[in-house]
C-alpha cells in the first residue's frame, strides 16, 4: 500500500528574497500501537492475540533496561536502537561531568534488509489541497 503525501507551501529565502516554494510532505497516519501489531501477528501465526500482547508488553521493559544500561538493542531485520546522549562541550576534560549531559536519547538504524525495502516504497497523492506552514508570529516590541 503506497504512502500518502500532500503538497506543502513554504517560504524560503533565495538570494535574500523570500519566495514561496512547494514540497511533498508525508501524511502521517494513526500510530500503530501494540494492540494493532498483535492483531496483525495473530492473523499470521498460530498464537493468540493475548499471548502476543504479553510478549510485546514484556519486550518494552526489556528494551528499556538494556538501553538504560548502555546496550544497543538489535531487533532482527528491523534494525538496531543505540543509546546516545546530548552533552555540552567543555574546555577541559575535568569540566566534563554528569551535569554537562543534557539528555539521553536513542538512535535507530534500520537493517540492510529494511533499507532495501524502503527503496521500494511507493507514494500516492492523498488529496489535492495545498497546505501551508504556520509560522509563529513575532511578538510586537
Q: Express each pLDDT in 50-66 by its tens digit.
A: 999 999 999 999 999 99
Which pLDDT belongs to residue 88?
Answer: 93
CA distance 12 to 14: 7
Read off the pLDDT of each residue in 19-28 and give the average, rounded to a whole number.
89
SS3 call for 26: strand
Question: What is the reported pTM?
Answer: 0.70
Q: Are strands 17-26 and 3-14 parallel, antiparallel or unpaired?
A: antiparallel
pLDDT at 138 over 80: no
Read off the pLDDT of each residue in 35-46 and give the average, rounded to a whole number.
92
Which pLDDT belongs to residue 72?
Answer: 96
Which pLDDT belongs to residue 136?
Answer: 76
pLDDT at 135 over 80: no
Amino acid at each position: 500500500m503506497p504512502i500518502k503525501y500532500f503538497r506543502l507551501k513554504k517560504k524560503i529565502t533565495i538570494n535574500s528574497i523570500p519566495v514561496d516554494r512547494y514540497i511533498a510532505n508525508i501524511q502521517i497516519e494513526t500510530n500503530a500501537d501494540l494492540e494493532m501489531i498483535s492483531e496483525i501477528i495473530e492473523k499470521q501465526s498460530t498464537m493468540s492475540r493475548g499471548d502476543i500482547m504479553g510478549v510485546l508488553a514484556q519486550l518494552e521493559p526489556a528494551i528499556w533496561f538494556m538501553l538504560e544500561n548502555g546496550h544497543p538493542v538489535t531487533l532482527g531485520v528491523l534494525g538496531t536502537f543505540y543509546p546516545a546522549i546530548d552533552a555540552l562541550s567543555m574546555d577541559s576534560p575535568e569540566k566534563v561531568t554528569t551535569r554537562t549531559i543534557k539528555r539521553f536519547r536513542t538512535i535507530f538504524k534500520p537493517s540492510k534488509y529494511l533499507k532495501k525495502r524502503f527503496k521500494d516504497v511507493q507514494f500516492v497523492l492523498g488529496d489535492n489541497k495545498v497546505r501551508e506552514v504556520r509560522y509563529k508570529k513575532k511578538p510586537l516590541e
